[in-house]
Homo-oligomer: A and B are copies of this chain.
């Protein structure tokens, strides 16, 4: 039962996510304000807390969508990639870069979110992460056929982290950012040099 109420709550939930998504994309996570949100959604500030525990919960909902779009972009790039496993890694990493560049503030919100100490990341986060890792470990297994599963898992994580670091510091304008072209060159340099002459 309680259909009327439940429908309204669901609609408010969706509306808030869309507004928060737009706000974060355009002005960044730090511009997300409860009162502005309520204004735009045409509801009371308190209503937000009927639907989300707090603003962090709302941000997590936005981040889930962002992460999902990111995963889809990488998957699409992989689908169009050549057969060569090294090139697949390069294409995916550059797709990751492109997504981060074109959705900079939303992408930053994935990592800038305040997390209670000791609390684990939500399930969807680990799942999307795992999805990305599989994209990486598959070509890696072809490139390094002699490494065991544990080493491959470590390599996978290491490569993802490396590309993430290159994109993160490259897009950080404050510390003398790097041109988009040079970020792609760094990614290609690292991955090609890394995958050259496997044992």
Contact call B120/A176, Cβ cutoff below 8 A:
yes
Q: Chain B: which residue is nearest A156 at the CB level?
A: B186
Cα A166 to Cα B163 in complex, Å, equals 9
Report A's interface with B, CB cutoff 8 A: 30, 114-115, 118-121, 125-126, 129, 151, 154-155, 157-166, 168-170, 173-176, 178, 182, 185-187, 189-190, 193-194, 196-198
Contact call A161/B165, Cβ cutoff below 8 A:
yes
Per assembly, the copies of the chain total 2
Contact call B114/A189, Cβ cutoff below 8 A:
no
Contact call A178/B194, Cβ cutoff below 8 A:
no
Q: Contacts A157-B186, A186-B158, A189-B158 known; A120 to B166 CB distance under 8 Å? A: no
Cα A158 to Cα B159 in complex, Å, equals 12
Contact call B178/A157, Cβ cutoff below 8 A:
yes
Q: Chain B: which residue is nearest A155 at the CB level?
A: B189
What are 9 A-B pairs with beta-carbon distances under 8 A?
A121-B176, A155-B186, A157-B178, A158-B186, A161-B166, A162-B163, A164-B168, A193-B198, A197-B197
